[in-house]
Structure 1
C-alpha cells in the first residue's frame, strides 16, 4: 500500500529511510509546539493551552495535505515571523480582535489558493533568474545555520558589532560544537540517521551536564498528558470583519500575501534544489501543487485558530537524512499528533541539541554557491547580495525583495534590461510599492 501511495522504489528510497527522515524533520521543528502558543497568546487574549493543541493539529494537517497533493518530503506548520506579525502588529499593535485577524488569515489563504490553482504563483518563481534562485537557496542555508549558531549561543548579540561570538567555554555552546563535530563525522561516513541520532545523544547527555541552576536538558515534569481543548479558537473567526473594516484589513491582507508568497516560494524552491526535485530546465514539476498545499494548510490553520501555516525550511534536515517522498511528511504529521500526548518530553529537548542539525543543513544548502558563474558579475552580485541579506535581515522575503530589485536595476543600467523577463519586472515593481506601505 505504501509503495502504491508514495512510489518509494521509483524515488530510490525505503520505508525505514522515509520514517527516519520524518523523525529527523520533526526533531528540528518540534519547537513550534512551544513557541507558537507563546507568541500568539502574548497580549492577544487567545488561550495559551488550547493553542498548543491548535499548533500541533495545524502542523499535522499541513503535512498530510502536502503529502497527499505532492508526494514531497516537505513539512508544514504555523510560520515563524508570520505569527509575530499576526500577534504583535495586527492584534496588539493595530487593536484588531484576534477573531478578526484569523478571518484575515482565512481570506488570505483563499486568495493564495486561487493564485496557486491558476498557476500564477508558479509563474512568479519561473520569472526569477537562476542566479537569484541560487541566491535564495544559499541565503536560506545561511539563515538556518545562523539560527542554529544563535540557538546554541555560539553567536550572540553585541551593541557595538551587532553580533559577536558567545562564551564558547560555557556548557551549551561546547555541547553544540561537539554535537556538530559528531554529526559531521557520522555524515561523512554515511551513517544512516546521523542527524537524529546526534540530537537524541545530546538531549540525553544534557541531563547530566550542569548549566545555570540545573542541567542543559531539563528533567521532564511528566511523560503523558491529555491535549488541551481548542474550544475557544475553533471556527471562532469573525468571518466578515475584513469587509466591515476594509480600510484596516486591506493593507494587512496585502502584507500577508507578500510575506507568505515569497516565504513559501523561497522555501519550497530551496528545498527542491537541495533534494534534486528540479528537472533539467531548472523547473520544479510539482511546484503548483506544493503551493496549493501551502494555501490549503493556511485555510485549515485559520479555522483551527492559528496564524498562517506554511512550508518549513527545517524539512531540509529530513531531506538530508534521505527523505524523498510524502511518506516523510506523513511521519512528521503523525509525530505532531503523538506529541500532543508527550509534550513534557518534547519541551525538555534543549536548543543546544537541535542547533547542530540546523547548522549542518545550512552548510549543505550553501553548497549551491558552486553553481554560480563567478566570471559574470551580473550573476554573482545579485546572488551573493540575496544570500547575505536573507540572514542579515532575518527575513526570507526582504532578502528576495532586495535581490530582485538590485538584479533588475543592474540589468537596466548595463543596457541589458530586455533580457529581464516581464514577470521579474512586475515582481520588482510590486516590491518597490510594498516598501512604501
Structure 2
C-alpha cells in the first residue's frame, strides 16, 4: 500500500528510511510546539490552546504536502511570521489577535488563488539560477547560524554584532562533539545518523550539569492530555480586513510579501537539495506545493494560529534519506503523538538538535559547486542572497536584494532580455516595498 501511495522504489527509498527521516525532521522542528505558543501569547492568546493548535496545524500541513505533492517537506506555523503576527500586527498596530487571524486567513485565500491560477509558480520559476543557488546555500547558512546561536556558541556583541560564546560550556562541547560524531556516522553511511546523534545527546544531557542544572531537563511526567481549542477555533474577525482595508493595507501587503517569498524560497532550496528539480532547475510540483502551503495557512487561521508554511528544518529529514511524502506523514503523526507525550518531546535540548542544524547547513552549502564562478552576473546576486538570508534572519530579504541586484546588473550590462519580464516586475515590487513599507 505504501509503495502504491508514495512510489518508494521509484524514489530509491524504503519505509524504514522514510520513517527515520520523518522522525528526524520532527526532532529538528519540535521546538515549534513550545516556541509558537510562547510568541503568540504576547498577543494575548491562551497558551494551552495554542500548544494543541500548533500540533494540529503542523500535522495537517504535513499531510497536505504529502498528499498533494509526495514531497518530504514538513509544514508548521512559521517562525518570523508568528513574530510579525504578535509584535507588529497586535502589539505594534494595536489590533486584537482575532483581527490578526483574519489577516492570516485572507493572506491564505489570496495565496490559494495565486497558486491555483499558476501565478505563484511563475513567480518561483522567474528566479534566476544564481538566486536559486543563493537561496539554497543561504538557507544552509541560516540553519547553521540558528543552531550555533541556540546553544550560545555564537552570541550577540555590542561592537561586532556577533561574537564567539563560551566553548568550554557543556552545551558547546556537546554540540561540537555531536557534530563530529554525526559527520563520522554520515561518512560511514549509517542510516539515521542525525536521529541517532540527537537521541544520544539528549540522554547524555541528563547526566551533564550546566549552570546548576542538567542540560536535558527531567520531564514532569510522561503523558499530558491536549488542551481544548475552543478559545481560538473560529475566533477570527473575518470581515474586519474587508471593512477596514485602507487602515490595514500596509500590514496585509507586508504579511503577503513575507509569506510569499519565505515559502517560495524554502521550497526552492529544499527541492534542489532533495533532487526534486528538473534539469533546467524548475520544480515540477511547485504549484501543488504552494497550494498545500496556502490551504494549510487558511486552515491554521481557522484553528487559531499564524501562517503555516514549509519548514527549512525539513532538510534534516531530507539529509537522512527522506524522498517522498511518507516522510511528511511520519512527521505529521509525530506532531499528533507529541500532543499526548508533550513532556517527553520537550525535554530534547537545543544542544541535541544544534549539531543536526549545522550538519544540514553544510549539506545545503554544497550547492555552491553549481555556481558559474566565471560569470559575475550570476555570482554576485547569489552571494548577496546567501549572505543576506542569515544576516537579516529573513529568506524574503535575501531574495529581494539578490533579485533586485540581478535585474540591475543585467540592465546596466545591456543584457535585459536574458531575464523574464516577471523578474523585473518582482524587483520593482521589492523596490516599492523597501521605499514605502
Distance 1:287 1:244 in 2: 33
Partner of 1:29: 29
Deviation track 1:258-293 (CA, whole Å, cap 9, x = no partner) reads 111100000001011001001122111011000000
1:237 aligns with 2:236: yes
Counterpart of 2:235 in 1: which secondary structure?
Answer: coil
- Stretch deviating more after TM superposition (157-166 or 305-314): 157-166
Partner of 1:12: 12
Counterpart of 2:155 in 1: which secondary structure?
Answer: strand
- Stretch deviating more after TM superposition (375-384 or 33-42): 375-384
Q: Which runs of structure 2 are paired with 1:220-369 in the superposition (5 Å)? A: 220-369=219-368
Distance 1:300 1:337 in 2: 16
Counterpart of 1:208 in 2: which secondary structure?
Answer: coil
Q: TM-score, normalised by structure 1?
A: 0.99
Distance 2:114 2:3 in 1: 32
Q: Which runs of structure 2 are paired with 1:92-171 in the superposition (5 Å)? A: 92-171=91-170
1:244 is displaced (CA, Å) by 1.9
1:354 is displaced (CA, Å) by 0.2
Distance 1:242 1:36 in 2: 24
1:108 is displaced (CA, Å) by 0.7
Distance 1:18 1:244 in 2: 47
1:248 is displaced (CA, Å) by 2.5
Deviation track 1:145-170 (CA, whole Å, cap 9, x = no partner) reads 11111112111111111111111011
Counterpart of 1:77 in 2: which secondary structure?
Answer: strand
1:41 is displaced (CA, Å) by 0.5
Q: Which runs of structure 2 are paired with 1:356-435 in the superposition (5 Å)? A: 356-435=355-434
Counterpart of 1:276 in 2: which secondary structure?
Answer: coil
Distance 2:350 2:289 in 1: 29
Distance 1:303 1:218 in 2: 34
Counterpart of 1:219 in 2: which secondary structure?
Answer: coil
1:194 is displaced (CA, Å) by 0.2
- Stretch deviating more after TM superposition (419-428 or 199-208): 419-428
Counterpart of 2:162 in 1: which secondary structure?
Answer: strand
Root-mean-square deviation (CA, aligned residues, Å) is 0.8
Partner of 1:215: 214
1:131 is displaced (CA, Å) by 0.7
Distance 1:125 1:244 in 2: 32
1:420 is displaced (CA, Å) by 2.1
Q: TM-score, normalised by structure 2?
A: 0.99
Distance 2:209 2:38 in 1: 26
Distance 1:275 1:82 in 2: 25
Distance 1:45 1:154 in 2: 33
Distance 1:123 1:114 in 2: 13
Q: Which runs of structure 2 are paired with 1:163-202 in the superposition (5 Å)? A: 163-202=162-201
Counterpart of 1:207 in 2: which secondary structure?
Answer: coil
1:421 is displaced (CA, Å) by 1.4
Distance 2:289 2:252 in 1: 21
Q: Which aligned segments of 4 or more residues in structure 1 are displaced greater than 3 angstroms?
A: none
Counterpart of 2:231 in 1: which secondary structure?
Answer: coil
Distance 1:7 1:408 in 2: 40
Distance 1:287 1:243 in 2: 30
Distance 2:417 2:5 in 1: 45
1:239 is displaced (CA, Å) by 1.1
Unpaired segments ≥5 residues, structure 1:
none
Counterpart of 1:192 in 2: which secondary structure?
Answer: coil
Deviation track 1:389-422 (CA, whole Å, cap 9, x = no partner) reads 1101111100111101111111111222222210
Counterpart of 2:337 in 1: which secondary structure?
Answer: helix
